[in-house]
Amino acid sequence: MEIRTSEMGLVARVARLGKHYGEGEHRVTALDDVSIGIRRGQFTAIMGPSGSGKSTLMHVMAGLDTPSEGRAWLGDDEITGLGDAELTRLRRRRIGFVFQAFNLVPTLDAMDNIRLPFELDGRRPSAEERERIDALIGALGLVGRTGHRPHELSGGQQQRVAIARALATRPDVIFADEPTGALDSRTSREVLQLLRAAVVERGQSIAMVTHDPVAASHADRILFLADGRIVSDCGAMSAEQISETMLHLERVA
């Protein structure tokens, strides 16, 4: 019998993953035989040169993209081969997303965007959840902005709404793609501290793609990708050590 993902102390994992685009001489290999797990209660950063496969790996792990080869699990559920409806349900219950393109609904104001995961799950936030949402709005400096629609907010404010939305339902795992990309350094630090608190205080798990060595230095573990493969799996590192590793990978890429 197969060992379950949870018994391995993981919240998500992939095995022998491959992802290709195009055919023949146009074929691009985005992921090449990747086997890796995201550990429960850890903040994992995923780094690597541009085009190394970071976003593809995160999208496959989160069930947003299907692999060409290999298998993927979210918790104990294998997601490879699941239909759209089942995948959507799993994602909604288990995952929070913070993506570069924010993925906010343009016609909804900030508060309704934050409450959207509850709405989609067919329920209203409980009193405790409403309190958590208010605390997130305060911590993210969004007080007074909750009635604004995305186009009335700056890029950084939109990103903070996306972060509040991802944390509001307290999902098992949060997938974040460049969550601090649109933020100034002070707000970045606050966002990273909030993500850390989700891990340390509430035992949630985070996988974060980033180019920023300072952002990655908040992580417990750093995975480095190059040419679609995991080339290094490290514990916490300083921003300087991370920059050096990245320089080395970019030189050999």
Residues that bind ligand ATP (CB under 6 A): 21, 28, 30, 48, 50-56
Return left, alpha or beta for 178; rule: phi > 0 is left, psi -120 to 50 is alpha, else beta. Answer: left
Nearer to ligand ATP, 53 or 213 (CB): 53
Nearer to ligand ATP, 31 or 140 (CB): 31
CB of 132: closest distance to ligand ATP in angstroms? 31
Nearer to ligand ATP, 1 or 101 (CB): 101
CB of 34: closest distance to ligand ATP in angstroms? 11
All residues at 6 or more sequence positions from 77 whose CB lies less than 8 Å from its CB, including other chains: 90
CB of 178: closest distance to ligand ATP in angstroms? 8
CB of 213: closest distance to ligand ATP in angstroms? 14
Q: Kind and range of the H or E element at 10?
A: strand 10-21
Give the span between the Cα atoms of 191 and 136, in whole angstroms.
Answer: 10
Give the span between the Cα atoms of 230 and 32, in whole angstroms.
Answer: 9
Nearer to ligand ATP, 48 or 150 (CB): 48
C-beta separation of 164 from 140 below 8 A: yes
CB of 47: closest distance to ligand ATP in angstroms? 9
Q: How many CB atoms lie within 10 A of CB 228?
A: 23
Helix (H, G, I), strand (E, B) or coil at 172: coil
Nearer to ligand ATP, 21 or 147 (CB): 21
Give the span between the Cα atoms of 69 and 223, in whole angstroms.
Answer: 21
